[in-house]
Amino acid sequence: MTDYLALNRANWDDRAAAHAASPDYCVSQLVGGAKDLSDVVAFDAERLGDIAGLDVLHLQCHIGTDTLSLHRLGAHVTGVDLSPASLHEARDIAARAGARIDYVESDVYSAAEALGDRTFDLVYTGIGALCWLPSIERWAEVVAAVLKPGGRLFVREGHPMLWTFDEDVRPEFSYFEQPEGMVWSEPGTYVATDHEFTANTTVEWNHGLGEIVTALLSRGVQLTGLVEHDSVPWCALPGLMSVDDRGEWRLTDRPERLAASYTLQAVKT
């Protein structure tokens, strides 16, 4: 297998500062208090419910805007990411916001060891995370390992059907997990920036909903909720989507035709 960790880490390291500087992440508003929560966390705030006082683990936290938002909901939060440059930005954002958040550098599959076998009341994973992992089975093993008995998993993610579409909106890519990932070489990023990046190769995987649910069930993590949404927090299909006042994009014409993202909840028995 391609050294996906090295390629993907370099890609995220290269983009971390640009993401932190971009208005799309609303860092200045979050730090200054103009916004209490990131749009991603605010979207699911009702489903998250009261998390005050809980020990929360945010896997694949990137620059920590969602992590800060979970902290502001009253949780004791630890963020994990494989990119040291992303964690540098996350720590800076937390410090500027006066938030006590622990950050640990680790890829997902090494997270349990990196955390010293700590366990958590809630494991949170946000948009655009699972596609960087080659095995959803190994991910489920980590989730089960870091959750306390009775602890909850909360995932908001792009819908695997959406990931199958090419730029012409044809289902060209696999819905189901494949041994070899899809290798991409793209010079830009998903936020507005004039920065020229040098680490442009990534490796990604899709995972079907059935594969995700089955992997969790087989490890004693029982599904408690699965909501499919007609929106996603970026323009996934340029020219075909419109944005609402919450920063969510959906098909301009008959949005009910596409499940663009989902929120999954599960509990460790």
Half-sphere exposure for 206 (CA within 13 Å, toward CB):
18
Q: How big is the chain by its Cα radius of gyration, in Å?
A: 17
Q: Is 150 helix (H, G, I), strand (E, B) or coil?
A: strand
Beta-carbon neighbour count of residue 47 at 10 Å?
A: 12
Q: Is pLDDT at 187 greater than 80 in this prediction?
A: no
How far is the CA of 196 from the CAs of 78, 84, 90, 187, 189, in angstroms?
Answer: 31, 20, 22, 7, 10
Q: What is the model's pTM?
A: 0.95
Q: What digits encode the pLDDT tens for the residues 22-52?
A: 888 899 999 998 999 999 999 999 999 999 9
Separation of alpha carbons 130 and 213, rounded Å: 13
Report the greatest alpha carbon distance in the chain.
49
How far is the CA of 10 from the CAs of 54, 200, 203, in angstroms?
Answer: 33, 8, 11
Q: Are 195 and 173 a contacting pair, CB within 8 Å?
A: no
Domains in the chain with CATH codes: 4-268 (3.40.50.150)
- Looking at this protein, which amino acid is placed at residue 15? R
Q: What digits encode the pLDDT tens for the residues 233-255?
A: 999 999 999 999 999 999 999 99
